[in-house]
Amino acid sequence: MLIRLKKIFLYSLLGGILLLLGGILGIWLGEERIIALFVREANRHLRTPVQVGKIDLSLIDQFPRVSVTLQNVVVGGSLPQDTVALARARRLYCAFDAWDLVAGRYRIRAVTLDSATVQVRYDAQSQPNWDVFRADSTGTPDDQPFAFDLEKINLRRVLVVYNDAARHQRHTVRAHDLRAALSVTETLIDIKAEGSARIEAVALGEDKYFREKELIIKTLLAIDRPGRRITIEPSDLRIGPATYGVAGTVGYGGETVLDLRLDGRQTDVQSLVALLPPRLAGNLSAYRSRGDVYFRGTVRGAMSAYSNPRVVMQFGCRDASFYHPEYRETVEHVYLTGTFDNGTQRLLRTSTLALSQVRGTLHGRALGGNLRYHNFDDPSVQLDLRADLDVARALRFYPVAAVRAASGDARLSLRFNGNLRAFRAQPAAAAVQSSGDLTLRGVSLRLRNFGQPFTGMSGNFILRRNDVAVSDFKGRIGRSDFQLNGLFKNALGWLLLPRQQLLVEADVTSRLLDFDQLLSAQLADATSSQKSPPMGKKPGRQSEYEFHVAPNLALNVQAKVGRVRFRRFRGRDLSGALRLRDQVISSPMLSVAAAGGQASIRGSIDARQPDLLKVHTTMACSQLPLDSLFYVFEDFGQKFITARHLRGRLTASGESDLYFDRRLTPLTDRMEAEIRATVRDGQLNNFEPLQKLSMIARREQLRQLRFAELTNNFYIQSRTVYMPEMEIRSNVRTASIIRVTGTHTFDQQMDYHLSIPVLPGLLHRASVGGSGTTGPNLLLAIQGDENDFRVSYDRARVQANRAATMPPAGPRPSLGDLLKNPDASTDPDASPATPPAETRRPFETKKPAKKPAQPQTGEYFDF
């Protein structure tokens, strides 16, 4: 028995080998004939040109079947003047059974397309490019030696692109390994397909659905060839864990007619949202769900460039939970019923999306509402929303990029009914119905682009149409606090629409405003308010500031502030009106008590150019201590005259145009100002330049120069302070009247000129007009910078004054004449008998015994 089995095996093996050798021999002998039959049959079926790089007959490529292998195949499309090929393939295998070699009749049973791109297109007139088969080639005569009788189609690494120019649709699918079994008769083609593919995108207009989704297909199709209709038996498309069922019919005789039923099984929120384009999915794509999430619907009607099918969908969830894998919050016990219907006209303007009976809980606190969105071309919205929220948990569940952290409680009730297009066009005048109520209790926020935290915010906001009434809204911003009552006009439009303006009309009160924090450009550390500042650094002081005014904010505010801080400035009882329009802040009047006096300011800040802030002010102050003023304003950026040098009380008024960049750095080359100032009961203490005038007074007297009143105007322009000549009546008997004029640049370059009368009562005489005295004056110049200056005899001014007051030619009076007759001095109105200028002698000093030195004739003293 064993020997017989061995013989049978050997004979079978020998027969197989002989059969294989015979097949190879037959293929080798009949290769040219078979290829010629294949080309002839293909040309009989095709109406478009086909380019082939190489054609082989192989027993191995599709073993155990024999295949005609075509390499580098290009199949042209059926559209006239179309340069885009219908298909490009690296390899195309057309296989037939080996027994056909014996029978002499070759039937192509299977086609395998490998490494190919197929582009199915419709032009703008809805004409296809895939109509490549001849109309009379559907049958296969039995007497033909070579014919197509497909039973199986394989697609390997095939990219299929569907492009409909009329409907603005483009679908891209990459088949990894897709197999289709065919049963073909003259009237019916049954296709059973299964395999894996990847949907790169289903583009409808500008939106792309099903982006980069791997799917597994299992479907059964029946194609009615005479009726030109495809019947889809219940088929499944599996994307991830979700399975989507499809069943119905597709008619393709003329325009496409659909009658499809869709449903989802084992779906969740991620699988549904993942099918949407990024514009619609947004941040929802990362969320997950547990529980029963479902959808089902129908698509019925004609689909062409001029018509759409009727789409009706139902979706929802029952006792589901939604969460984000990176966050630690979950919305639980969610119930939702939703519908979508594109209406009887099957257009966007008749489409309606409705969400009803929405409810759930976030950490045990209820939320819910209803939404109806009708007419996608010109939307009308009906919204009803209710929520009781822990703000921290709500923002952990759905983070807002602008908020770093939050806490507190909020209760919201909102109702809106109206047309969105009308609301966008004119939010204040649109015929919308809106109402709502928001209550905050102990809410704190830390924003990413603002350095100071908002803490302890409480208050009530009532929405009526487009405006919000604010009642007792209070809280803190860093160390500053506020309480606000008023009206936010166009608040709803400002919140929901871009480039909408918010108008705030309110009364604001505050115990403290700390502008060191409010204007700081640096992000504050969360615990900075509890930590002590570093040694040598004052609390609240920041190295940089940033000033920005929102372009869509308008204000009309009455403010009352108990204390104001900015650098060294400490103000009290700030009150007045502030207005903001078009990034220009203005005030008709602000008053503040500071530095032991009172000041009032009116003016504007033009912030329309962020790096060129223009500040125009008109200010007045009364009884401000000079030393406190210089200390508060940090000695105005110079060290020549500082707070330790000055005493007295300043009463002043002035106008100025100042310019700053967004960091509040002054642009000094653009500044202009005029200041009218009066100082009473003044003192100039320990001023170093005065110590160098010891030739006219004792140092003890010069160390504390007192004056009852000083009045002058000051001008600032081109980075220079101009001081017209002013008269200082001091307590120093030998220099009781000092006249000063000069300039002081922002680079601390000084050029002061002093005129000091010498030996009062001895050489003075009554001036013309009867007021004041004239006589010899000591003319000095103080020049240099604050760290390196010199006090010198002002020769240039002496020469200029001599030239201006030169008397007529005549004999010059002697010193004896002057002493006997003071009226004979250099008065320009004196008698023409005055000696001519050329007879004036150089300055000489006489030193009679036991008498002080006397100056030479003239009104200028040289030393």
- The full DSSP string for 803-830 is HHTPPPSSPPPPHHHHHH-GGGSS-TTS
CB 128 within 8 A of CB 121: yes
From first CA to last CA, the distance across the chain in angstroms is 151
**Cβ neighbour number for residue 732 with a 10 Å cutoff:** 22
Question: Domain spans of the chain?
Answer: 327-500
Q: Residue 860 and residue 853: Cα distance in Å, rounded?
A: 15
DSSP per-residue string spanning 88-157: EEEEEEEEE-THHHHHT-EEEEEEEEEEEEEEEEE-TT--BS---B-GGGSS--TT-SEEEEEEEEEEEE
Query: Distance between CA 396 and CA 324 in Å, rounded?
Result: 9
Locate tokens 């020469």: which residue? 799
Burial zone of 828 (CB within 10 Å; 0-12 exposed, 13-18 middle, 19+ buried): exposed
Q: How far is CA 796 from CA 400, 563, 779, 793, in A?
A: 71, 51, 10, 9
Average pLDDT, 10 consecutive residues per value, the chain (863 residues): 64 58 53 72 76 81 79 86 85 80 72 89 79 60 64 87 83 87 78 88 79 87 86 88 89 84 83 72 75 89 83 90 84 92 89 93 93 91 94 90 92 91 79 90 90 92 92 94 94 84 94 88 42 41 71 93 88 93 92 85 91 90 79 66 75 87 84 85 74 66 75 84 80 70 84 74 40 63 81 78 63 45 40 36 35 38 34
Beta bridge partners of 234: none
Cα–Cα distance, 474 to 497 (Å, whole number): 26
Cα–Cα nearest to 796, from 804, 787, 788, 807: 804
Tell me phi and psi for residue 132, to 5 degrees.
-105, -5
DSSP H helix total and E strand total for the chain: 13, 39
b/e code 190-209 from CB counts within 10 Å (16+ = b): ebbbbbebebbbbbeeeebb
At a CB cut-off of 8 Å and minimum separation 6, what does 258 contact?
Answer: 248, 249, 250, 251, 299, 300, 301, 302, 303, 309
Task: Give the 3-state secondary structure of residue 720.
Answer: strand
Given this model, what pLDDT does residue 300 score? 93
Count of C-beta atoms within a 10 Å radius of residue 832: 8
Question: Is pTM beyond 0.85 here?
Answer: no
Q: What is the pLDDT of residue 735?
A: 60
> In the block, which residue shows the tokens 């609240």?
540
Round to whole Å and give the CA distance between 491 and 730. 62
Q: 841: exposed, middle or buried (C-beta count within 10 Å: 0-12, 13-18, 19+)?
A: exposed
* DSSP state letters, 524-561: PPTTTTTSPPPTT--TT--S-B-----TTEEEEEEEEE
Write down the pLDDT at residue 825: 38
C-alpha distance from residue 137 to each of 40, 151, 190, 544 (Å):
13, 17, 18, 84
Q: Distance between CA atoms of 97 and 589, rounded to whole angstroms?
A: 102
Assigned token pair, 169:
């649709």
Identify the pLDDT of residue 658.
87
Q: Please tell me the predicted confidence (pLDDT) of residue 556.
A: 94
- CB–CB of 574/590 below 8 Å? yes
Q: What is the distance between the alpha carbons of residues 763 and 772, in angstroms, rounded to a whole number?
A: 13
Q: C-alpha dihedral over 430, 434, 435, 437, to 10 degrees?
A: -100
Helical (H) or strand (E) element with 701: helix 699-703
> Would you tell me how many other CB atoms lie within 10 Å of the CB of residue 730?
24
Q: How far apart are CA 563 and CA 456, in angstroms?
A: 20
593-628 burial: b if 16+ Cβ within 10 Å, else e: ebbebbbebbbebbbeeeeebbbebebebeebbbbb
Instruction: Report the alpha-carbon distance of residue 20 to residue 7 in Å, rounded.
Output: 20
For residue 630, give the nearest of 701, 576, 687, 589 by alpha carbon.
Answer: 687
**CA pair distance 127, 67, nearest whole angstrom:** 34
Q: What is the pLDDT of residue 430?
A: 75
For residue 430, what are the β-bridge partners? none
DSSP string, 434-459: EEEEEEEEEEEEEETT-SSPEEEEEE
Which of 34, 23, 104 shows the shortest CA–CA distance to 64? Answer: 23
501-557 pLDDT, tens digit each: 899 999 999 999 998 888 875 444 433 444 444 433 444 444 477 888 888 999 999
